[in-house]
Amino acid sequence: MQFEPARLWKTLTEVDGEAPRVQCHLCSHFCVIHEGQRGKCGVRINERGILKTMVYAYPAALNVDPVEKKPLYHFLPGTSTFSLGTMGCNMACSFCQNASLSQPPRLGQEIRGNFMAPADLVATAQETGSESISYTYSEPTVFFELVEDTARLARQKGLSNILVTNGFMSPSCLDTLGTAQTGLIQAANVDLKAFTEAFYVEQCGARLAPVLENMKHMRELGWWLEITTLLIPGLNDSPAELAEMAGFIATHLGVDTPWHLSRFHPDHQMLDRPTTPRGTLLAAREIGQAAGLRYVYIGNIAGPDFGVTLCPGCHKALIDRQGFTVTANTLQNGTCPGCGVVISGVWG
pLDDT digits (tens, 9 = 90+) for 143-168: 999 999 999 999 999 999 999 999 99
32, 76: one domain: no
Q: Are residues 122 and 16 in the same domain?
A: no
In 3D space, the residue among 72, 220, 46, 42 whose CA is nearest the CA of residue 134 turns out to be: 72
* 337 in a structural domain: no
Closest among 212, 300, 314, 216 to 263, alpha carbons compared: 300
25 and 161 belong to one structural domain: no
In a domain, 348, yes or no: no
Of the three residues 14, 30, 53, the one that is the final residue of a domain is: 53
pLDDT in tens, 97-145: 999 999 999 988 999 999 999 999 999 999 999 999 999 999 999 999 9
Does residue 34 lie within any of the structural domains?
A: yes
Residue at 247 is within a domain:
yes
- Tell whether 119 is covered by a domain: yes
pLDDT in tens, 161-219: 999 999 999 999 999 999 999 999 999 999 999 999 999 999 999 999 999 999 999 99
Judged by DSSP in three states, 40 sits in coil
Asked if pLDDT for residue 348 goes beyond 90, the answer is no
* 9 and 147 both lie in a single domain: no
Per-residue pLDDT reduced to its tens digit, 225-251: 999 999 999 999 999 999 999 999 999
Q: Is residue 338 part of a domain?
A: no
Residues 39 and 120 reside in one and the same domain: no
Examine the domain organization and report whether 179 and 270 are in the same domain: yes
- pLDDT tens-digit readout, 1-57: 779 999 999 999 766 667 789 999 999 999 999 999 999 999 999 999 999 999 999
Q: The CATH number of the domain where 162 resides is what? A: 3.20.20.70
Q: b/e string for 129-165 if b means 16 or more Cβ within 10 A?
A: ebbbbbbbbbbbbbbbbbbbbbbebbbeeebbbbbbb
Number of structural domains in the chain = 2
> How confident is the model at residue 249, as a pLDDT?
98
**pTM, two decimal places:** 0.96
- Specify whether the backbone of 211 is left (phi greater than 0), alpha (psi in -120 to 50) or beta: alpha
| Same domain as 22, residue 162 | no
Is 307 inside any structural domain? yes
Helix, strand, coil distribution of the chain in percent, nearest 5: 25, 25, 50
What's the whole-number mean pLDDT along residues 294-313? Answer: 94
- For residues 294 and 226, give the distance between their C-alpha atoms in angstroms, rounded to a whole number: 12
49 and 112 in a single domain? The answer is no
In terms of domains, do 225 and 198 share one? yes
Q: Evaluate whether 170 touches 26 at the Cβ level (below 8 Å).
A: yes
Q: Is residue 342 part of a domain?
A: no
Q: Answer yes or no: do 116 and 8 share one domain.
A: no
Looking at residue 15, its pLDDT comes to 65
My answer on whether 96 and 132 are in the same domain is: yes
State which H helix or E strand residue 229 sits in.
strand 224-231
Whether the per-residue pLDDT at 90 is higher than 90: the answer is: yes
Domain that residue 36 falls in:
4-53
Q: Are residues 49 and 66 in the same domain?
A: no
